[in-house]
């Protein structure tokens, strides 16, 4: 059972298993930055409207909102010889890798071919995400899920860094068949790594079911969702609305960081991704410590402290620009101050990400682990869809400084809602 009492060896007993699961996240983490970077460029060959490009780029967010809860509950109810999550992983993940490798060549054929492959790829990649994420809480006892989630987030972040700093350098690699354009090598390499990860999981990972799992009632999808919200424990609802608020802040600011650097700070376009890169590196460095610290301080307390610090950092960004100009620190000084704040932002943000999932999982049973995973994505992706248009309007009305203030207010609102959470702690 996943909710066994703490053991003498602590998390160390599960470290190897966590890294095994995390390797899958490392390879999946390679795909997202390549997708976010190159799909808009491919679309630009056919579409001049930024609004249309942005609309197509939100397709994955919409599919996550709809598909992840359904497939997660489906996997909750699945029973096979290799487990309940692995059948989805061994079928959908390799197929998504094949489709991912075909995006660059099909992008050169026509707009309809590009949109078609994007749509099919997103269906498979989105569908498999719930079972992949639920694999860890199925396997790791509740007391150690913060530490395990820290390791997994670190490996996902390393995959992102590896993709952006190393794989992108293979663009233009010679020797490929004429069918593949110069942009294909990073897509091919990341797809091959996904196949390797699936083979390793299939060979060395074994799902275990509780002894009484065969007698569990198989509740339909929407009945499962209704059961979660009618359980009488408001902690589940509070966490879900809290994460909607903090993801509204995060997803509202993230898409405009590059524009802020270029248009407000005068940074060359080639360095527009610097802020996200700095925050990403600091998040990787802090991912594992965040899990251990939350175990000692308590997840709820640690998340609430992180939310206050995030609000403070977001409020300081426009204030730092204003007072920096008054102090005459110059453009380079203002940029250094902003990057320092983004580094701190990454350090604190990962503490929220690492510990929010384990709090939800702690409230779930073995039979409902997938639906809690799916609800996390429903609320977070709902924020990802709604937040960018809101912050875009704020920029039009109040300038770039307004989105950081808006983000800080959302973080404080999330802190307030989290104050009523009474469940989700280890032990």
**Between residues 367 and 45, which one has the greater pLDDT?**
45
Q: 364 lies in a domain?
A: yes
Looking at 185, 207, 229, the residue that finishes a domain is 207
Identify the pLDDT of residue 193.
94
Q: Which residues contact 324 (CB under 8 A, 6 or more apart)?
A: 333, 334, 337
Confidence of residue 374 (pLDDT cuts 50, 70, 90): confident
Q: Which residues contact 395 (CB under 8 A, 6 or more apart)?
A: 256, 402, 403
Confidence of residue 1 (pLDDT cuts 50, 70, 90): very low
Q: 212 lies in a domain?
A: no
Q: 214 lies in a domain?
A: no
Whether 121 and 251 share a structural domain: no
Percent of the chain predicted with pLDDT > 90: 39
Q: Is the pLDDT of residue 225 over 80?
A: no
Mean pLDDT for 245-259 is 90
Whether 279 and 421 share a structural domain: yes
Identify the pLDDT of residue 9.
67
Whether 14 and 39 share a structural domain: yes
Whether 165 and 239 share a structural domain: no
Q: 197 lies in a domain?
A: yes
> Tell me, what DSSP letter sits at residue 232?
S
Among candidate residues 150, 153, 152, 94, the one with its CA nearest the CA of residue 124:
94
Q: Is the pLDDT of residue 136 over 60?
A: yes
Looking at 207, 236, 271, the residue that finishes a domain is 207
Q: Is the pLDDT of residue 337 over 80?
A: yes
What confidence tens digit (pLDDT) does each residue in 312-336 have?
999 999 886 555 555 556 677 888 8
Looking at 178, 207, 236, the residue that finishes a domain is 207
Q: Considering its fold, how many domains does the chain have in total?
A: 2
Q: 162 lies in a domain?
A: yes
Mean pLDDT for 64-68 is 84
Contact present, 185 and 173 (Cβ < 8 Å): yes
Element (H, E) at 316: helix 299-327
Whether 58 and 197 share a structural domain: yes
Whether 330 and 396 share a structural domain: yes
Mean pLDDT for 227-237 is 76
Contact present, 334 and 122 (Cβ < 8 Å): no
Whether 125 and 248 share a structural domain: no
Whether 189 and 240 share a structural domain: no
Tell me the average pLDDT of the chain: 85
Q: Is the pLDDT of residue 50 over 80?
A: no
Query: Which domain CATH number covers 340?
Result: 1.20.1250.20
Q: 357 lies in a domain?
A: yes
Confidence of residue 224 (pLDDT cuts 50, 70, 90): low
**Between residues 330 and 117, which one has the greater pLDDT?**
117
Q: Is the pLDDT of residue 133 over 90?
A: no
Q: Which residues constitute the domain of residue 88?
A: 1-207
Whether 268 and 196 share a structural domain: no
Mean pLDDT for 141-146 is 89
Rank 204-213, 242-251, 330-339, 383-392 by mean pLDDT and report only the highest.
242-251
**Between residues 258 and 325, which one has the greater pLDDT?**
258
Spatial distance between the Cα atoms of 147 and 14, rounded to a whole number of angstroms: 10
Q: How is residue 140 written in tokens?
A: 């790791």
Q: Is the pLDDT of residue 2 over 50?
A: no
Q: 86 lies in a domain?
A: yes
Contact present, 244 and 360 (Cβ < 8 Å): no
What pTM does this model have?
0.81
Q: Is the pLDDT of residue 366 over 60?
A: yes
Scored b (16 or more CB within 10 A) or e, 123-144 reads bbbbbbbbbbbbbbbbbbbbbb
What confidence tens digit (pLDDT) does each residue in 259-276 have?
888 888 888 866 777 888
Whether 260 and 289 share a structural domain: yes
Whether 242 and 307 share a structural domain: yes
DSSP-derived 3-state class of residue 180: coil
Q: How is residue 286 written in tokens?
A: 């802090």
Q: 165 lies in a domain?
A: yes
Contact present, 291 and 146 (Cβ < 8 Å): yes
Whether 184 and 322 share a structural domain: no
What confidence tens digit (pLDDT) does each residue in 378-405 have?
899 899 889 888 998 998 899 889 999 9
Spatial distance between the Cα atoms of 19 and 6, rounded to a whole number of angstroms: 20
């Amino acid at each position: 059972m996943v909710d066994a009492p703490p053991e003498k060896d602590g998390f160390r007993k599960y470290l190897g298993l966590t890294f095994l699961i995390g390797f899958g996240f490392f390879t999946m983490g390679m795909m997202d930055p390549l997708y976010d970077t190159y799909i808009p460029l491919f679309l630009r060959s056919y579409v001049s409207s930024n609004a249309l490009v942005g609309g197509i780029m939100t397709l994955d967010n919409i599919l996550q909102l709809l598909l992840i809860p359904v497939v997660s509950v489906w996997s909750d109810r699945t029973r096979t010889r290799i487990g309940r999550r692995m059948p989805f992983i061994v079928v959908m993940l390799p197929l998504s890798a094949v489709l991912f490798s075909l995006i660059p060549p099909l992008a050169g054929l026509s707009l309809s071919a590009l949109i078609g492959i994007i749509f099919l790829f997103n269906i498979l990649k989105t569908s498999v995400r719930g079972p992949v994420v639920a694999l860890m809480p199925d396997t790791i006892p509740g007391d150690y899920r913060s530490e395990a989630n820290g390791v997994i987030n670190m490996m996902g972040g390393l995959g992102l860094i590896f993709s952006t700093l190393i794989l992108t350098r293979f663009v233009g690699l010679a020797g490929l068949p004429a069918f593949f354009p110069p942009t294909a090598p990073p897509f091919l390499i990341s797809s091959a790594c996904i196949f390797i990860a699936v083979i390793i999981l299939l060979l060395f990972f074994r799902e275990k079911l509780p002894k009484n799992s065969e007698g569990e009632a198989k509740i339909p999808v929407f009945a499962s969702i209704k059961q979660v919200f009618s359980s009488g424990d408001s902690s589940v609802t509070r966490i879900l609305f809290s994460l909607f608020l903090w993801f509204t802040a995060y997803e509202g600011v993230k898409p405009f960081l590059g524009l802020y650097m270029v248009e407000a700070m005068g940074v060359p376009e080639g360095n527009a991704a610097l802020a996200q890169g700095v925050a990403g590196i600091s998040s990787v460095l802090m991912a594992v410590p965040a899990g251990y610290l939350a175990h000692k301080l308590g997840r709820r307390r640690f998340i609430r402290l992180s939310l206050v610090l995030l609000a403070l950092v977001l409020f300081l960004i426009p204030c730092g620009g204003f007072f920096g100009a008054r102090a005459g620190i110059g453009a380079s000084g203002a940029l250094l101050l902003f990057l320092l704040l983004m580094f701190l932002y990454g350090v604190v943000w990962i503490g929220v990400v690492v510990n929010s999932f384990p709090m939800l999982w702690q409230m779930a049973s073995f039979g409902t682990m997938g639906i809690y995973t799916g609800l996390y994505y429903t609320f977070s992706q709902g924020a990802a869809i709604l937040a960018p248009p809101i912050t875009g309007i704020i920029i039009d009305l109040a300038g770039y400084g307004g989105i950081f203030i808006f983000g800080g207010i959302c973080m404080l609102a999330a802190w307030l809602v989290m104050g009523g959470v009474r469940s989700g702690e280890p032990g």
